[in-house]
């Protein structure tokens, strides 16, 4: 039996396993867009879709969420685009490989945990340990753009990837309030717009000058943020960004090596 290329699922009262089974069935039967209504904390949405269809088709899939999904949204995501009209909870983008997560609200803790690829766009603020253990390999590099600010331990143990913090929720002249930024960082880059003091940055993290390549990357992702959230980004200037990068690929060598 064929199914329409777009399908709507009412998630009200559904246990997360039942909801995810319905999503998987819809995708395997040919749906290219799945709209979820009344989502209230169901976990792992977008997970375990690999193998339902071929990879090229999976990368055309759109999942549109109305409500608040639970932890680990898009865990191991491998192609689809997930758009959330609301906030997202902890662990969104956990170990994602390919695809995109767009949240029209705030994000919880450990957003982008161990992400290996793909893109994330968060309209507002995010919680603690954003970008922890992000990594990259070959042509896979995760990029996360957050419109607001984050809590402590941003970029903790980062091994690769890019985190862009726009600071749009800060008041004029207000400094970032996150501490221990880049603690244990040994790869990747953080671009942070706004004021941050040296004591807020982890040991072993430097502040190199922006390169032409950095400027191109920032320009592209700022423009895409503005497009996705219908936000005026014309006042965002590249000179207002601080680039953070590790000084060593083995920051704790003196602790563990003899």
Give the pLDDT confidence of 175-233 residue by residue, as tens digits: 999 999 999 999 999 999 999 999 999 989 999 999 999 999 999 999 999 999 999 99
pLDDT over 80 at 249, yes or no: no
Which residues share a beta bridge with 120?
101, 144
- Residue 141's SS3 state is coil
Give the pLDDT confidence of 2-33 residue by residue, as tens digits: 556 999 999 999 999 999 999 999 999 999 99
- Residue 190's SS3 state is strand
pLDDT over 50 at 74, yes or no: yes
Helix, strand, coil shares, percent, the chain, to 5: 15, 25, 55
For position 58, what pLDDT does the model report?
Answer: 94
Return the half-sphere exposure (C-beta side, CA atoms, 13 A cut-off) of residue 85: 10
Long-range CB contacts (within 8 A, 24+) of 100-103: 101/73, 101/74, 101/77, 102/228
Surface-to-core class of residue 124, CB atoms within 10 Å of its CB (0-12 exposed, 13-18 middle, 19+ buried): middle
For position 1, what pLDDT does the model report?
Answer: 42
Where do runs of H (alpha helix) occur along the chain?
16-28, 55-58, 212-229, 253-256
pLDDT over 60 at 162, yes or no: yes
- Is the sign of the CA dihedral 167, 173, 174, 178 positive or negative? positive
């Amino acid at each position: 039996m064929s199914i329409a290329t777009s399908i709507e699922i009412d998630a009200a009262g559904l246990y997360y396993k039942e909801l995810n089974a319905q999503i998987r069935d819809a995708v395997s039967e040919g749906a290219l867009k799945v709209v979820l209504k009344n989502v209230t904390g169901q976990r792992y949405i977008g997970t375990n879709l690999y193998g339902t269809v071929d990879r090229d088709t999976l990368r055309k899939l759109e999942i549109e969420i109305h409500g608040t999904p639970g932890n680990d949204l898009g865990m191991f995501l491998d192609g689809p685009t997930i758009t959330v009209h609301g906030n997202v909870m902890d662990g969104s983008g956990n170990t994602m490989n390919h695809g995109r997560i767009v949240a029209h609200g705030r994000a919880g803790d450990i957003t982008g945990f161990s992400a290996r690829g793909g893109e994330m766009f968060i309209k507002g603020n995010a919680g603690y340990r954003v970008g922890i253990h992000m990594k990259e390999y070959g042509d896979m590099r995760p990029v996360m753009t957050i419109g607001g600010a984050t809590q402590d331990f941003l970029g903790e143990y980062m091994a690769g990837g890019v985190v862009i913090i726009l600071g749009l929720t800060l008041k004029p002249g207000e400094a970032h309030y996150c501490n221990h930024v880049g603690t244990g960082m040994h790869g990747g880059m953080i671009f942070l717009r706004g004021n941050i003091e040296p004591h807020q940055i982890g040991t072993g993290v430097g502040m190199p000058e922006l390169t032409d390549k950095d400027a191109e990357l920032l320009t592209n992702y700022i423009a895409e943020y503005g497009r996705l959230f219908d936000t005026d980004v014309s006042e965002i200037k590249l000179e207002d960004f601080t680039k953070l990068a590790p000084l060593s690929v083995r920051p704790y060598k003196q602790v563990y090596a003899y």
